[in-house]
Amino acid sequence: MSEPEISFADFQKVDIRVGRIVEVEDFPEARSPAWKLRVDFGEELGVKRSSAQITNYPREALLGRLVLAVVNFPPRQIGPVRSEVLVLGTYSADGVLLIAPEGHAALGDRVG
């Protein structure tokens, strides 16, 4: 089932940027298994925090990885973590699969 149609103007309101995961921490307080992430979006946006249920990736596979994230949702409190961005992925039988830009994308580049 697909979601209702939205206008292109609605899509343009979603600010999706390229970031690099620079820190991965355990999140034992989470209700569902998750990592605490710090993602660097470059000079304009800086480093933001996120909680992500992507435990099908080991810490070593996440650290330094380029990701796409929504950066203009309001922060969300997830247990003791204030999640500032939503790292994007697709749902599969194996868990969440991260969506990644090309390797030469610059931090802070906008999707559009």
- Within-domain flag for 76: yes
The total number of structural domains in the chain stands at 1
- Within-domain flag for 105: no
Res. 1: pLDDT tops 80: no
pLDDT band for 31, please (50, 70, 90 cuts). Answer: confident
pLDDT at 3: 87
- Within-domain flag for 106: no
pLDDT at 28: 83
Alpha carbon of residue 7 to chain centroid:
24
Structure tokens at 93: 């039988």
- Within-domain flag for 112: no
Q: Mean pLDDT across the stretch 71-91?
A: 94
Q: What is the DSSP string of 52-109?
A: E--TTS-HHHHTT-EEEEE--SPPEEETTEEE--EE-EEEETTEEEE----TTPPTTP
Find the domain containing 59 and state its range.
Answer: 14-98
**CATH number of the domain bearing residue 51:** 2.40.50.140
Q: What is the pTM of this model?
A: 0.92
pLDDT at 16: 98
